[in-house]
Amino acid sequence: MKSDAVKKGIQTAPQRSLFNALGLTEEELSKPLVGIVSSYNEIVPGHMNIDKIVEAVKVGVAMAGGTPIVFPAIAVCDGIAMGHIGMKYSLVTRDLIADSTECMASAHQFDALVMVPNCDKNVPGLLMAAARLNVPTVFVSGGPMLAGHVQGKKTSLSSMFEAVGANAAGKMTEEEVDDYVCNACPTCGSCSGMYTANSMNCLTEAIGMGLQGNGTIPAVYSQRIKLAKHAGMKVMELLEKNICPRDIMTQKAFENALTIDMALGCSTNTMLHLPAIAHEAGVEINLDIANQISAKTPNLCHLAPAGHHYMEELNEAGGIYAVMNELNKKGLLHTDLITATGKTVGENIAGCENRNLEIIRPIDDPYSQTGGIAVLRGNIAPDSCVVKRSAVVPEMMEHEGPARVFDCEEDAIDAIKGGKIVAGDVVVIRYEGPKGGPGMREMLNPTSAIAGMGLGSSVALITDGRFSGASRGASIGHVSPEAAVGGPIALIEEGDIISINIPANTINVKVSDEELAKRKENWIPKEPKVKTGYLARYASMVTSADRGAILEIK
């Protein structure tokens, strides 16, 4: 066992004295040491129940003959961090989580790991760590929040942000907004739509690192406690069989994940996270592969914000395995791959029927014949940009309009709420990319303000930043190269006509190559917004969004 390095032989007597200080018995030390990575905290609603999940995992590990030992991982609540300097600290935690988990697991020589994440960067950060460490690992999340109910309608966090925009437009009173405040997010758990946290937890099932139901069983259901116990038991089976993350997270497994991503209509943030996780696993996933898969994968689900269905309904309809089973009817998945269940994908999904054809469309009657995410290219984004196609209204699939240019999110929000943005405009928010932000802030406030002002079907927004999974509309992010490194988005001027064609996967500014070259000659780089601390260090190492915003030593 790996842990023998700290508990076997006379040379480990000092280490054993410290285990003795922890109160561990000889019987416990004779068993495999299983690290349980707990993301519990009291500031993130998606994590406030994780203490109970962790206790259930400990029971499962102990039942199956292991010694469970808990250590922590951090997590930021994107909703609380939204719209201020805190959002600069969201994406950057993905690498902190991966690095700190690598440090803890390697320093203490755990034989196996159970990862207990839930929210946006916490899930991919721990998947990155799992790929790096490559010891037997199972994931079990804290689970999604139940949908809220306001005035007879189901609601979620995106409803809340759009209520603020509606108030700014004079369409909703402050008292009505307060009604949303008290009822839109009614339980613990990751926010109830197909936002980034739920997207990544569902894709953890799809890629084979989580057990059935990991992405969809609501946080408050007792079934999730049972799932956690099974995760604890299952990791001991993986340890016995020596099934490790890189055995599971193969090239074909990432292709499966991208296929299910397109069918579900996941958050565009998956286009940052899947390449970053693949990089850690020694697998190459680029956005061209994503578009190739999207072109042949039907979109089967329209969960909030794309539609009016929520995670609890997807769970009742059969969950991710039911979606996978639908896709498999046309041979769209690799089914011979080993997973954290100890079985193959095909064995996992056999008999998992679709129990609600409204929530999960049949493979022959999809919302669209192509996937929920599209990758666009053009002279604005020669290295690509990303849009959640399934959340774009039909009339905005093709759009031309004048650029309204802003060099930060705050200026754009002031203009939107001040009534300065009108139907037909294309809002451009730049210098918010991985380097320029730094940290690539999410633009949920401006997209929600646009929707709340009644402009969601007539105004597009493009940015070198990114979008929350709660964003909807013609919201095009991850523009690469970003403005901070002189990408073409930095050269757009107020009033330039921007042409967006999502079905054709193109995005262009109607300016000649010669004019763009002249503007590039006159472009002056901006001073870094942050010059000290972790953000400055991050900005010095981070790569472009089209590469997953991974960190590289220069």
So which residues are the catalytic ones?
Answer: 468
Cβ neighbour number for residue 494 with a 10 Å cutoff: 10
Q: Tokens for 148?
A: 């809220």
Provide φ and ψ at 442, rounded to 5°: -80, 145
Provide φ and ψ at 548, rounded to 5°: 90, 10
Cβ neighbour number for residue 103 with a 10 Å cutoff: 11
Q: How far is CA 399 from the centre of its chain?
A: 27
Cα radius of gyration (the chain): 23
Q: Which helix (H) or strand (E) segment is 444 a member of?
A: helix 444-452
Cβ neighbour number for residue 329 with a 10 Å cutoff: 12
Q: Which of 545, 344, 274, 533 is nearest to 435 (CA)?
A: 545
What whole-number distance in Å separates Cα of residue 172 and Cα of residue 176? 6
What whole-number distance in Å separates Cα of residue 301 and Cα of residue 316? 13
The residues, any chain, with a CB within 8 Å of residue 419's CB and separated by 6 or more, are 453
- Report long-range pairs for 220-223 (Cβ below 8 Å, ≥24 apart): 220/49, 220/143, 220/146, 220/187, 220/188, 220/189, 221/143
Residue with tokens 């009604």: 179
Cβ neighbour number for residue 456 with a 10 Å cutoff: 21
Positive or negative: CA dihedral 477, 478, 484, 486: negative
Cβ neighbour number for residue 331 with a 10 Å cutoff: 8
Provide φ and ψ at 400, rounded to 5°: -130, 140
What whole-number distance in Å separates Cα of residue 47 and Cα of residue 201? 13
What whole-number distance in Å separates Cα of residue 158 and Cα of residue 287? 27
What whole-number distance in Å separates Cα of residue 360 and Cα of residue 318? 9
* The total number of residues written for the chain in this structure: 554
Q: How far is CA 336 from the centre of its chain?
A: 26
Q: How far is CA 107 from the centre of its chain?
A: 28
What whole-number distance in Å separates Cα of residue 397 and Cα of residue 356? 28
